[in-house]
Structure 1
Amino acid sequence: MRVVLAGGGTAGHIEPALALADALRRYDPSIGVTCLGTERGLETRLVPARGYELALVPAVPLPRAITPQLLTVPGRLAGAINTAAGILDRSQADVLVGFGGYVATPAYLGARRRGVPIVVHEANPRPGLANRLGARLTEHVFTGHPDAVLPRAQYVGIPLRREIAMLDRLSMGDKARSYFGLESDRPTLLVFGGSQGARAINEAALAAAPALRQAGVQVVHVVGPKNELIAEPPPGDPQYVVLPYIDRMDLAYAAADFVLCRSGALTCAELTAVGLPAAFVPLPHGNGEQSLNAAPIVQAGGGIMVDNADLTTEWILRNVLPILRDPERVVAMSAAAARMGRKDADEVLAGKVLGVVAAGGRR
């Protein structure tokens, strides 16, 4: 069996695809997996690091408005479709699974041209253009959010890496804090802004460092790979650890009591799977999907939310610091977050993909 996965650009597209690949390989190590991506996406680093083949397709961003650039799209898209179809031919694909993003549109159209069955997974409550197209080409449509609106869609959750989905934060806590050079008995805040970092979160958290230290809170702050030169707080006690990127997010989650972060679909899925409460700062751009991702968690008591424009150092000290200083509230919020989590989406989606192939590829 040979599977081609199309999900590149951001970690939110790539990680669920790789989690599905891992689940398929656990079922049958002989299953061939090829991941489609573009040369400028995170997949160029993440896919080879996980041991999977990466095949590149030209990126064809679709303009959101009528501009001169729109006139160049048909020609560039045709070239990308041809490239994707050629990869499907060379890999002898039995099925294409798309997760959205730039690479998914030519992949869906290439699969349609070659008669390869299509499976669509949409992580967000508001589907992107690529998956809205893909969902019109297949009856095999699955979502990571129960309120996502796509025809014939079935909710399965978002596939997660096993080391995160199966993480026992309590048993791993001391080891994880030691890994980051932290003390085992201090309240710990994890700060990150998605795979690329977030300026508003970085600036507000760093400015809050003196007050957090004075309150006895230690911090692991992931500023993003493009922000390595950002100013760090001076050395002091408790620790305020600034890192450009973390490959072991499972250890970061195990070390933390509370999180300050964006609310991308993957982040929300991971935090609820591990039972970690958060202050969510939705990305202010796009179609508002990040607010929709976090809203059910907040309503269930597993987090709080603040608009990007309202995130300040003072807000952190008024809203996040009191939670960190109240262990009983942290425990209650952790339990509420955990009740919203889904740990088995990788296995469920793998079963659906295997079923599509076994059924003979009926579209």
Structure 2
Amino acid sequence: MRVVLAGGGTAGHIEPALALADALRHLDRAVGITCVGTERGLETRLVPARGYELELVPAVPLPRAITPSLLTVPGRLAGAINAAAAVLDRVRADVLVGFGGYVATPAYLAAKRRGIPIVVHEANPRPGLANRLGAMLTEHVFTGYPESAMPKARYIGTPLRREIVSLDRLSMGDKARSWFGLQTDRPTLLVFGGSQGARSINQAALGAAHTLRMAGVQVLHVLGPANEPDHEPPPGDPQYVLLPYIDRMDLAYAAADLALCRGGALTCAELTAVGLPGAYVPLPHGNGEQRINAERIVAGGGGLVVDDSELSPDWIIQNVLPILRDPERVAVMSEAASRLGRKDADIMLARKVLEIAR
């Protein structure tokens, strides 16, 4: 059996695809897996690092307004569809699974042209253009959000890496904090802004660093690979650890009592799967999906949410610090977050994909 996975651009598209790939291999060691992406996305680094074959096709962003660039889309899209079809032919694909992003549109259309079954997974409550198109071409549509706007969709959760869903935060906490040079007996805040980082979150956290430290809180802060801090907290106790990127997010989650982060679908799925409370700062642009993701967790008692425009050092001190200083409240929020998590979406989706392909 040969499965082609199409999803690229951000970690939110790529990581669920790779989690599905791992689950497919777990169920059937003989399955052939090929990932399709573009040269502009994170897939060029993440997919080979996980040991999977990556084929590149041209990226064709679809303009969201009528502009002169719209006239170039048909020709570029035709070229991308031909490139995706060539990949499907070469690997003799039995099924295509799409997760959205620029590469998904030509992949869906190429699979339809070849008569290959299509499976769509949409992690967000509001689907993007590519997955809206894909859902029109198939009966097999799965979502990571319970209330989806997509017809025919079935809620299954978002596929996550095994090291995330199998994480026992309580038993791994001391080891994880030592891994990052943190003390084992301090309340710990994890700060990150998704795979690329978030400048507003970085600035607010760094601005609150002195007060957090004075209150006995240590911080593990992931800036993002392209971000440089405006200033660094001076060395001291408790620790304020600044890192550009972390490959072992499972250890970062285990080290933390609470996370300050964006509200992307992957982030929300991972935090609820491991039972880590979050202070969510949804992206201030887009279609509002990050706020919807976060508000579901807040309503369930597993976090709090603040607009990007309202995030500041004072907001962190007034809203996040009291939680970190109250272990009982952290425990209650952790349990609430974990009740919203799904840990079996990778295996469930893998079984569906194999069934559809057969």
Provide TM-score, normalisation by structure 2.
Answer: 0.99
Other-structure match for 1:116: 116
Letter of the aligned partner of 2:41 in structure 1?
G
Q: Secondary structure at the match of 2:25?
A: helix
Q: Distance in 2 between matches of 1:229 and 1:315?
A: 20
Other-structure match for 2:348: 348
- Give CA deviations for 1:117-158 in whole Å, capped at 9, x if unaligned: 100000000000000000000000000001111121100000
Q: Distance in 1 between matches of 2:229 and 2:201?
A: 16
Other-structure match for 2:180: 180
Other-structure match for 2:247: 247
Q: Is the 8 A contact 2:202 2:229 kept in 1?
A: no
1:96-135 equivalences in 2 (<5 Å): 96-135=96-135
Q: Distance in 1 between matches of 2:242 and 2:291?
A: 27
Other-structure match for 1:19: 19
5+ residue gaps, structure 2, are: none
Other-structure match for 1:190: 190
Other-structure match for 1:53: 53
- Give CA deviations for 1:157-204 in whole Å, capped at 9, x if unaligned: 000000001100001001100000000000000000000000100000
Other-structure match for 2:215: 215
Q: Secondary structure at the match of 2:226?
A: helix
Q: Distance in 2 between matches of 1:74 and 1:181?
A: 53
- Give CA deviations for 1:75-126 in whole Å, capped at 9, x if unaligned: 1111000000000000110000000000000000010111111000000000
Q: Distance in 1 between matches of 2:289 and 2:148?
A: 10
Deviation at 1:324, TM superposition (A): 0.2
Other-structure match for 1:284: 284
Deviation at 1:228, TM superposition (A): 4.0
Deviation at 1:237, TM superposition (A): 1.0
Letter of the aligned partner of 1:200 in structure 2?
S
Q: Distance in 2 between matches of 1:248 and 1:348?
A: 25
Deviation at 1:231, TM superposition (A): 2.9
Other-structure match for 1:166: 166
Q: Is the 8 A contact 1:112 1:137 kept in 2?
A: yes
- Give CA deviations for 1:12-65 in whole Å, capped at 9, x if unaligned: 000000000000000111111100111010001100000000000111111111
Other-structure match for 2:298: 298
The answer to whether the aligner puts 1:7 opposite 2:7 as a matched pair is yes
Q: Distance in 2 between matches of 1:42 and 1:152?
A: 30
1:254-273 equivalences in 2 (<5 Å): 254-273=254-273
Other-structure match for 2:307: 307
- Give CA deviations for 1:204-238 in whole Å, capped at 9, x if unaligned: 00111111100000000001001146532121111
Provide TM-score, normalisation by structure 1.
Answer: 0.98
Other-structure match for 1:44: 44
Q: Distance in 1 between matches of 2:261 and 2:282?
A: 8
Other-structure match for 1:361: none
Q: Secondary structure at the match of 1:352?
A: helix
5+ residue gaps, structure 1, are: 359-363
Q: Distance in 1 between matches of 2:172 and 2:37?
A: 34
Q: Is the 8 A contact 2:157 2:342 kept in 1?
A: yes
Distance 1:91 1:230, change over 3 A: farther
Q: Is the 8 A contact 1:10 1:41 kept in 2?
A: yes
Q: Distance in 2 between matches of 1:104 and 1:44?
A: 16
Q: Is the 8 A contact 2:24 2:350 kept in 1?
A: yes
Letter of the aligned partner of 1:263 in structure 2?
G
Q: Is the 8 A contact 1:228 1:243 kept in 2?
A: no
Q: Is the 8 A contact 2:223 2:229 kept in 1?
A: no
Question: Which range is displaced more, 246-255 or 27-36?
Answer: 27-36
Other-structure match for 2:227: 227
Q: Secondary structure at the match of 2:55?
A: strand
The alignment's C-alpha RMSD in Å is 0.7
Q: Distance in 1 between matches of 2:28 and 2:230?
A: 45
Letter of the aligned partner of 1:45 in structure 2?
R
Percent identity, aligned pairs only, is: 78
Q: Is the 8 A contact 2:164 2:270 kept in 1?
A: yes
Q: Distance in 2 between matches of 1:333 and 1:69?
A: 48
Q: Secondary structure at the match of 2:184?
A: coil
